[in-house]
Amino acid sequence: MKLDKTDIAIIRELQADGRQSNLALAEKVNLSPSPCLRRIRQLEEAGVIKGYAAVVDQQKYGLPLTLFVRITLKRHKRDVVDTFEAAIRALPEVIECHLLTGSADYLLRVMAASLQDYERFMREEIHEIPGVSAIDTSFSLMQVKDSRVFRKP
């Protein structure tokens, strides 16, 4: 699907506030409500809009720690990679997992309630995944920016 400037405006508005009414959204993007709703449905059907979610304060939810974990695998054979990726997908503590270039193979974003919770997670979950050769963790001291609205050039 080729996105035009109206599609991009709709997406940006929905990223900023996914609960706004179609009437309010249509007004912001200079469309009448019916064509606006039709465009939203097309964006959803094309998979451009993948879903809607609540933005939750992780501190108030009880998961104040954010950790970035770099993982290096022993080997890069298909079975090792598939086993690792399947294990990571099953772990609710892992919020994001990215395949990387460079010295580490994967970067995980993990949320935890405490240092003890993170230690348990590492010992009982990550250390048990076959094929992991190195783990390097960094703790986030503060989130400087958190944007869910991205810009298209």
| pLDDT score recorded for residue 1 | 85
Cite the beta strand spans of the chain per DSSP E: 65-73, 94-99, 106-112, 132-139
| pLDDT score recorded for residue 85 | 98
Residue 153's pLDDT band, with cuts at 50, 70 and 90, is low
Fold exhibited by the domain 5-45: Arc Repressor Mutant, subunit A (1.10.10)
Q: How many CB atoms lie within 10 A of CB 86?
A: 10
Residue 147's pLDDT band, with cuts at 50, 70 and 90, is confident
* pLDDT at 34 exceeding the cut of 80: yes
64-118 pLDDT tens trace: 999 999 999 999 999 999 999 999 999 999 999 999 999 999 999 999 999 999 9
Q: Is the Cβ–Cβ distance between 132 and 39 less than 8 Å?
A: no
Two tokens at 8? 């991009």
Residues 58-139, CATH architecture? 2-Layer Sandwich (3.30)
Two tokens at 114? 């405490």
* Predicted structure pTM score: 0.86
| Domain layout of the chain by residue ranges | 5-45, 58-139
